[in-house]
Structure 1
Amino acid sequence: MLINLTDVLSCEEKVVKRTVETEFQSFDSSLGSFPLTEEEPLNLTLTNLGGDKLLVEGEQKFVAKIPCDRCLTETEVPIEIFFSKEIDMKQSAEGRIDDLDETDFIDGYNLDTEKLVYGELLLNWPMKTLCRDDCKGICKKCGKNLNEGDCGCDTVELDPRMAVIADIFKNSK
């Protein structure tokens, strides 16, 4: 959704609070596509700081379905985003790129809330997701989820430096 910023920028120290509905069905990135099962509205506060500077603050909560990093079971993970960004409205898009300012969510006098929230979701995405703290993962040999029970595979791993001695004992039997 695009929000026109001319009303906020019309007079100094003006504060505008908005509640915006975003329409993310899923979060798509290079990591994959993850469905968002719950999504609260985005609470935005836009403040004119004077001198063509704008303060954009906001918060939003999501619940995403992410596979467990050990056993690949779908897990619902709550994600909360909070942000506060000061934007210089005098700068052109090229000037922002030159200064490595990543405000691609500002286009002229419009604020693109979808791009803003996507960038914040990307920054706040969990590094590791576990279905539970004591997740046992999957068997390296057969792929069974070890949280559901033992698979019966031989899980003894010998030191590779001792493989020659292990072969000698196998041959002597």
Structure 2
Amino acid sequence: MLFDLTEVLSGENKVIQREIPLELNAITYQQEEFPIVAKTPVSLTVTHVGKKEVLIEAEAKVTVRIPCDRCLADVGKVFHLNISRGFDLQVEGETRRRELDECSFLDGFQLDVDLMIFNEIILNWPMKVLCREDCRGICRKCGKNLNEGACDCDMTELDPRMAKILDIFNNSR
């Protein structure tokens, strides 16, 4: 959703607070699409701090369904987002992007709230997602989720890459 910043620029030290519905329904990251299963409206506060400088503050809570890295079970990862950024709107287009390292969610006097929230989620994306701390993953042979119980697969088989090392130990005895 686009938010027009010209209203806040009409008066010095003017503050505008809005609850803006988040229209984002999925996060596309690393060629995967992760659905958003719960979201709160974005609590947006825009403050005109001087000349054409604004302070943008936003809060939102977004839950994204991400598969566990070990067992592939769906995990609802909650992102508590608190954003606070200042912008000088006198600086134009490409120069603004280069100098302020913006990610294109501010175009002229239009703030793309969905893109701002998307960027914050990507910045806070976890390195590893686990359904629980002691997740046992899936069986290498049959693919059973080991969190649901043990499988009947024979796990005494050695890794073929380690067979030569085992031969060295057996020959040294």
Q: Give the Cα separation in 1 of the matches to 2:109 and 2:63.
A: 31
SS in 2 for 1:115: helix
Moved over 4 A (4+): 165-168
Q: Which moved more, 1:114-123 or 1:53-62?
A: 114-123
Quote the residue 2:144 is aligned against.
144
| Alignment gaps of 5+ in structure 2 | none
Displacement after TM superposition at 1:87 (Å): 0.5
Amino acid at match of 1:47: T
Residues 1-12 of structure 1 mapped to structure 2, 5 A cutoff: 1-12=1-12
SS in 1 for 2:120: helix
User: Could you say if the C-alpha distance between residues 78 and 84 of structure 1 is closer, same or farther in structure 2, counting changes exceeding 3 Å?
Assistant: same
Aligned residues between the structures: 168
Displacement after TM superposition at 1:73 (Å): 0.5
Q: Which moved more, 1:93-102 or 1:109-118?
A: 93-102
Residues 23-172 of structure 1 mapped to structure 2, 5 A cutoff: 23-99=23-99, 101-156=101-156, 157=158, 160=162, 161-164=164-167
Q: Give the Cα separation in 1 of the matches to 2:21 and 2:105.
A: 16
Q: Give the Cα separation in 1 of the matches to 2:16 and 2:43.
A: 11
Q: Which moved more, 1:5-14 or 1:95-104?
A: 95-104
Q: Give the Cα separation in 1 of the matches to 2:98 and 2:29.
A: 25
Q: Percent identity?
A: 42
SS in 2 for 1:127: coil
SS in 1 for 2:139: coil
Question: TM-score under structure 2 normalisation?
Answer: 0.88
Q: Give the Cα separation in 2 of the matches to 1:17 and 1:33.
A: 31
Question: TM-score under structure 1 normalisation?
Answer: 0.88
- For the Cα contact (< 8 Å) 1:96–1:103, is it kept in 2? no
- Cα deviations by residue, 1:109-165 (Å, 9 ceiling, x for unpaired): 111111111111111222211111111001122222111111122334479253325
RMSD over aligned Cα atoms: 2.0
